[in-house]
Structure 1
Amino acid sequence: MFLTRQFTKTFKSIKPEIRFRCFANEDRNPFVKSWDVLKSDVSVFLGRSKPSMYPKHVDVVIIGGGFIGSSIAYWLKTKTREGLSVLVLEKDVTFQNVQKNVSLGQLTQHFTLPENINLSQYGAEFLRNIKENLGHDVDIEFYPCNSLVLASEKYAEKLESNVTVQKECGLKNDLLSIEDIKKRFPWINTHDVKLGCIGTESEGFFNAWNFLKGLVKKSQDLGALYLNAEVTGFELEKQRDVLMEGITPGSFRRISCVKYKTADNEEHSVKFAACILAAGDESGHIAQLADIGVGEGLLSVPLPIEKRELSVFSLAEKAKTTGLNTPMVMDTSGLWIRRNGLEDNLLCGHVPLLKDEAKTLSEQEFYANIVKPSLINRITECDKIDMCKISTEKQDYNTFDESGILGPHAYHNNLYLAAGFGRQGCFQAPGIGRAIAELIIDSHYTTIDLTRFGFDRLLLNKPIMEFNVY
């Protein structure tokens, strides 16, 4: 288990009694503090607010400067230094969504796909050595906290199978019987629980905002150029000498240039050798600008990335009852619960639902029909606790199979996709960024084989599901 010094603070939310953990060393709201810093001096954060000259040609363009996009920039420049020119286009240089997502930075190893397990293991290693990787001034304030996964009788066998896969990948965790759970966590209602599994190392939560700032700054220090810009389209060039199965000879059009608009509405374009689409929940829309999902043949299949908004709730004073050893609980219903650092409240939310009917539920209906019943079922006293929403989070969600999409597009082989990883994209970003850098520099994966995450599985209609028990 790795541990760094943490700092906590308390500030007032809309309701005076609501407090939640933040990572700061003074009394100002960190969201307000961050906004003031960025608003007054965006040039410090992104190198310069308005370059004297916009590049006309670069080796690699990265669309999206969040965790994954900045990780890709970091790895490309780490591996090549001046050998590759890298441009990052990010339309929100304040990263407001990141600052609002209090559930980001939850590090867990509880996965069933070897790819996700390996990415999470490497994410833990990268964070463990964060000062060596990003600089000694980067403090992610890691807070160790084990993850407890609960399974009903229906999924108990699956949980045992999951643990077997995890142990084969080198993870350390323990299966817990109902008696074990009651003894260690008496506040958990186990009437419908058959089995549990708790991780014993490399789990907890950290300051995701500090992590992202560290990635951006290090990438810039290595030579990556960040621009405050929104992508508006692509230019495609006909290449009559290219032959591709399913494509009429002479009709192939290669993506070669991206058009974008700056914050002051100036329009520019830049030619590239390779482009990476890592724009989170906007990736599906941007892909359409390259005819993905609106064209014919290989271009007829869309990039199925959508935005899902999820609420995070605070349970006032409840952490006083659950204690300092409160784990991050992943309930069999899809509910998650964790302590809010050293504060007295708990935080909770619910994982996205794949079913189409879930998208038709209003926020109030989702809370009343899914979140609240699941919470009261697991912690019975919560029907008497003041529970209120503290934030609405946005995640990029792959509606095809809920797993990330990574690697070159089947038609545009110089357009690399890196989206759909949802909340786990934060702590898996180091491995994802390294993987894309390997594809560009070495033409194949050299560390973790992530071939199964490729776009081709959409063409073949072969989903790879993360078979968790929640």
Structure 2
Amino acid sequence: MATKLLNNIFCNGRKLTNVRYFARNIRKDPFKKTLDVLAIDMPSFSNKKKDFVYPEHSDIVIIGGSHIGSAIAHALKARTGEGLSVVVIEKDFTFKKAQNNVVLGTLSQHFSLPENVHLSKYSIDFLRGVRETLNEDCDLQYTPTGSLVLAGEKYADKLEENIVMLNELGVRNQVLTKTEINRRFPWINTQDIKLGCMAIEGEGTFNSWSLLKALVQKSKELGTTYVNAEVVGFDVEKQKDVLMEGVTPGTFRRINKVIYRTEDNEEYALKFAVCVLAAGSNSGHLAKLAGIGTGKDILQIPLPVEKREYNVYSVEGKASETGLCTPMVMDTTGLWLMRNGMENNLLCGNLPLMKDDTKNMSEQEYLEKLIKPSLINRFPSCENAEINKFTKESHDCNTYDNSGILGPHPYHNNLFLATGFGRLGCQHAPGIGKAITELIIDSQYMTIDLTRFGFDRFLMNEALVEFNVY
């Protein structure tokens, strides 16, 4: 049913507007091209119900149409209307990865970086008004479960610092001692816990799939063109008169076109003024196509984004013991646990690691060596519980410091990055969309200063670590 609905959203779009086209494309069969032209000029000549003209020019092209890409498209069109043409290129219109990632629909404010806190607060306000902003039929199924962060002796001081910061930023929260945690959540083992923290409001779970569909639908209504295709390269043009620090004079090459391949194996060149790379775990690979990480000078530094996969497990029959008010629990080991909606099972998993040390483990080893010891230590009643694989999730992991990457590339200043946010990408998407829109339209951040998420920190070797993600 969901796939059928999504096909309706993407395939039955109206006639394209606000997008300019050139007659030229690349690697297209001349005979088929002639037929396509005749089909446009003489609709009865075509057997297709509705012809789709692949765009070859747009003011802004966004690579990746999931939560972040579609949030950027929505924010741009909501602000500029017909003033800017926006094209989103997405290779998988089923968004299979987004549907499988169950932890995408979580909302938390427990972070050590102020930027993440501000993005979460922005998302809370956005989701509260989602029916007015996006679609009155959008049912997010929000459940205010709360989020409990635990800290042992090692992280207790850091958690206390975070609590002070949260209070300063207006996040109402509760500090819980070991005794208070035992009283409220007797199923949690607190023997090696010193402190816990929960926000009083604005934390819980929501239907991330409903949010994505609403973002796509509203973006299309505002005039965004979605193209089902895969990006396979970039075209560049030499600009010998451009001088840039760290770049040999006369060698600057500016990207101005993205090459994409359709489902029919046709390739087109889409000329743009600005390109936004929001392709999730594929962003690192696509950046290489623009010379990032394979070139000289500034282009020697790669975009450190890779795919990280991990299993989500179902702890059967235990939700009745933890109760309806079960919060999402973040353990000191990186283990997380949450209730599966109104079902009688709990879901748990381990945060993806920056260094994928588990890739050589079998699924059984991963369960026995990583998941079970942490799970049983924190929730002793799960020792004899039935634990089954629920799904496999994948995230875009920034292998440098595990924080998001946002803003223009220092060499390709018309290429904006919005990737590496991992499991926070869905939660932060509305704020990221707003931020990228401000950078493009206003040339600076206006709502939330996210400068520290920029690519420059890789050049300066200044890691930006989120300590509340153990």
Tell me the TM-score normalised to structure 1 length: 0.91
- Paired amino acid for 1:147: S
Equivalent-residue separation in structure 2 for 1:82 and 1:155 (angstroms) = 50
- Paired amino acid for 1:385: A
Distance 1:39 1:226, change over 3 A: closer
Structure 1 match to 2:283: 283
Structure 2 match to 1:93: 93
Q: Is the CA contact (8 Å cut-off) linking 1:107 and 1:427 kept in structure 2?
A: yes
User: How many residue pairs were aligned?
Assistant: 438
Structure 2 match to 1:299: 299
Distance 1:55 1:355, change over 3 A: closer
Distance 1:45 1:151, change over 3 A: farther
Equivalent-residue separation in structure 1 for 2:15 and 2:227 (angstroms) = 9
Structure 1 match to 2:266: 266
Q: Is the CA contact (8 Å cut-off) linking 1:47 and 1:220 kept in structure 2?
A: no
Tell me the TM-score normalised to structure 2 length: 0.91
- Alpha-carbon deviation of 1:44? 3.2
Q: What is the DSSP-based 3-state SS (H/G/I as helix, E as strand, rest coil) of the residue aligned with 1:58?
A: strand
Matches within 5 A, 1:153-172: 153-172=153-172
Higher alpha-carbon deviation: 45-54 or 71-80? 45-54
Task: Indicate whether 1:34 and 2:2 are aligned.
Answer: yes
- Paired amino acid for 1:68: I
- Alpha-carbon deviation of 1:41? 7.4
Higher alpha-carbon deviation: 44-53 or 128-137? 44-53
Structure 2 match to 1:257: 257
Equivalent-residue separation in structure 2 for 1:192 and 1:184 (angstroms) = 17
Distance 1:189 1:219, change over 3 A: same
- Paired amino acid for 2:67: F
Equivalent-residue separation in structure 1 for 2:254 and 2:353 (angstroms) = 37
Task: Indicate whether 1:415 and 2:415 are aligned.
Answer: yes
Equivalent-residue separation in structure 2 for 1:229 and 1:469 (angstroms) = 34
Q: What is the DSSP-based 3-state SS (H/G/I as helix, E as strand, rest coil) of the residue aligned with 2:3?
A: helix
Structure 1 match to 2:310: 310
Structure 2 match to 1:76: 76
Q: What is the DSSP-based 3-state SS (H/G/I as helix, E as strand, rest coil) of the residue aligned with 1:144?
A: coil
- Alpha-carbon deviation of 1:212? 0.1
- Alpha-carbon deviation of 1:51? 5.0
Higher alpha-carbon deviation: 205-214 or 362-371? 362-371
Q: Which protein is bigger by CA-based radius of gyration?
A: 2
Q: Is the CA contact (8 Å cut-off) linking 1:153 and 1:194 kept in structure 2?
A: yes
Task: Indicate whether 1:451 and 2:419 are aligned.
Answer: no
Q: Is the CA contact (8 Å cut-off) linking 2:354 and 2:397 kept in structure 1?
A: no
CA deviation map 1:302-323 (0-9, x unaligned): 0000000011111111011111
Matches within 5 A, 1:224-243: 224-243=224-243
- Paired amino acid for 1:249: P
Q: What is the DSSP-based 3-state SS (H/G/I as helix, E as strand, rest coil) of the residue aligned with 1:392?
A: strand
Taking only the aligned residue pairs, the percentage that are identical comes to 58
Equivalent-residue separation in structure 2 for 1:426 and 1:172 (angstroms) = 23
Equivalent-residue separation in structure 1 for 2:362 and 2:297 (angstroms) = 37
Matches within 5 A, 1:171-190: 171-190=171-190
Distance 1:304 1:45, change over 3 A: farther
Q: Is the CA contact (8 Å cut-off) linking 2:152 and 2:192 kept in structure 1?
A: yes
- Paired amino acid for 1:229: A
Equivalent-residue separation in structure 2 for 1:386 and 1:180 (angstroms) = 29
- Paired amino acid for 1:43: C
Q: Is the CA contact (8 Å cut-off) linking 2:308 and 2:353 kept in structure 1?
A: no
Matches within 5 A, 1:6-21: none
Equivalent-residue separation in structure 1 for 2:306 and 2:274 (angstroms) = 24
Distance 1:182 1:52, change over 3 A: closer
CA deviation map 1:307-365 (0-9, x unaligned): 00011111111011111111111111111111111111111111112345344434332
- Paired amino acid for 1:455: F
Equivalent-residue separation in structure 1 for 2:224 and 2:161 (angstroms) = 43
Structure 2 match to 1:198: 198
Structure 2 match to 1:247: 247
Q: Is the CA contact (8 Å cut-off) linking 1:45 and 1:217 kept in structure 2?
A: no
Q: Is the CA contact (8 Å cut-off) linking 1:283 and 1:419 kept in structure 2?
A: yes
Q: What is the DSSP-based 3-state SS (H/G/I as helix, E as strand, rest coil) of the residue aligned with 1:143?
A: coil
Q: Is the CA contact (8 Å cut-off) linking 1:38 and 1:45 kept in structure 2?
A: no
Distance 1:161 1:41, change over 3 A: closer
- Alpha-carbon deviation of 1:282? 0.1
Structure 2 match to 1:52: 52
Structure 1 match to 2:11: 43
Structure 1, unmatched stretches of 5+, are 1-32
Q: Is the CA contact (8 Å cut-off) linking 1:284 and 1:303 kept in structure 2?
A: yes
Higher alpha-carbon deviation: 344-353 or 438-447? 344-353
Task: Indicate whether 1:61 and 2:61 are aligned.
Answer: yes
Q: What is the DSSP-based 3-state SS (H/G/I as helix, E as strand, rest coil) of the residue aligned with 2:115?
A: helix
Q: Is the CA contact (8 Å cut-off) linking 1:151 and 1:469 kept in structure 2?
A: no
Distance 1:36 1:77, change over 3 A: closer
- Alpha-carbon deviation of 1:154? 1.4
- Paired amino acid for 1:100: N
- Paired amino acid for 2:258: V
Q: Is the CA contact (8 Å cut-off) linking 1:178 and 1:196 kept in structure 2?
A: yes
CA deviation map 1:254-299 (0-9, x unaligned): 0000000011111111100000000000000000000000000000
- Paired amino acid for 2:255: I
Equivalent-residue separation in structure 1 for 2:205 and 2:380 (angstroms) = 26
Higher alpha-carbon deviation: 247-256 or 202-211? 247-256
- Paired amino acid for 1:235: D
Equivalent-residue separation in structure 2 for 1:390 and 1:123 (angstroms) = 27
Task: Indicate whether 1:139 and 2:107 are aligned.
Answer: no
Equivalent-residue separation in structure 2 for 1:60 and 1:457 (angstroms) = 26
Equivalent-residue separation in structure 1 for 2:129 and 2:7 (angstroms) = 31
Equivalent-residue separation in structure 2 for 1:338 and 1:95 (angstroms) = 24
Matches within 5 A, 1:316-465: 316-465=316-465
Q: What is the DSSP-based 3-state SS (H/G/I as helix, E as strand, rest coil) of the residue aligned with 1:357?
A: coil
Q: Is the CA contact (8 Å cut-off) linking 1:59 and 1:272 kept in structure 2?
A: yes
Q: Is the CA contact (8 Å cut-off) linking 1:174 and 1:197 kept in structure 2?
A: yes
Q: What is the DSSP-based 3-state SS (H/G/I as helix, E as strand, rest coil) of the residue aligned with 1:119?
A: helix
Structure 2 match to 1:14: none
Equivalent-residue separation in structure 2 for 1:455 and 1:51 (angstroms) = 40
